[in-house]
């Protein structure tokens, strides 16, 4: 019986958050596989660049002020959970957690400024 060693995520750029959440929820048993990303209707083989671009685009959207999940401290530039969020964001916070875990598992550095309480200890 063949076994796929990759966790494949297929997303549309204009729907990166919803498509990513859908793929992640549908393949929760694949988190400990190497990540491969494909952008719909775009040629390309993921040799690391597409994966890095997916992380960049997705975290940029998830951490944007418009999304309302995180607030940025103007003094330090660090992101923290938004206190005044009036939306039910459980699924999006779940997505943030999974994306951060996938980045660690796939040895991908993310350009995020998190307070020490949220930084991985090394």
- Any idea what the CATH number is for the domain that residue 79 is in? 3.90.1750.10
| Tokens at 97, concatenated | 């957690």
Report yes or no on 105 lying in a domain.
yes
Report yes or no on 62 lying in a domain.
yes
pLDDT digits (tens, 9 = 90+) for 103-112: 999 999 999 8
Side-chain-facing half-sphere of 27: CA atoms under 13 Å? 21
Give pTM, 2 decimals. 0.84
Report yes or no on 53 lying in a domain.
yes
Cα–Cα nearest to 33, from 11, 4, 56, 54: 4
CA–CA gap between residue 2 and residue 44 (Å, rounded): 24
Report yes or no on 121 lying in a domain.
no
Report yes or no on 108 lying in a domain.
yes
pLDDT digits (tens, 9 = 90+) for 22-75: 999 999 999 999 999 999 988 877 677 899 999 999 999 999 988 888 888 888
Residue-level pLDDT at 118: 62
Neighbours of 41 (CB within 10 A): 7
Q: Where in the sequence is the domain holding 55, given as residue range(s)?
A: 6-112
CA–CA gap between residue 70 and residue 73 (Å, rounded): 10
Task: Give the chain's domain count.
Answer: 1
Report yes or no on 1 lying in a domain.
no
Q: Residue 11 burial (CB < 10 Å; 0-12/13-18/19+)?
A: buried
Report yes or no on 119 lying in a domain.
no
Report yes or no on 117 lying in a domain.
no
CA–CA gap between residue 110 and residue 100 (Å, rounded): 8
């Amino acid at each position: 019986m063949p076994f796929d060693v990759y966790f494949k995520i297929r997303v549309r750029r204009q729907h990166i958050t919803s498509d990513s959440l859908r793929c992640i929820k549908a393949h929760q048993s694949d988190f400990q596989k190497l990540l491969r990303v494909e952008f719909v209707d775009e040629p390309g083989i993921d040799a690391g660049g597409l994966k890095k671009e997916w992380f960049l685009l997705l975290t940029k959207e998830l951490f944007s002020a418009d999304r309302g999940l995180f607030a940025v401290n103007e003094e330090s530039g660090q992101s923290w959970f938004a206190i005044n969020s009036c939306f039910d964001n459980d699924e999006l916070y779940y997505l943030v957690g999974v994306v951060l875990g996938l980045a660690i598992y796939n040895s991908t550095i993310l350009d995020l400024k998190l307070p020490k309480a949220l930084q991985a200890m090394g």
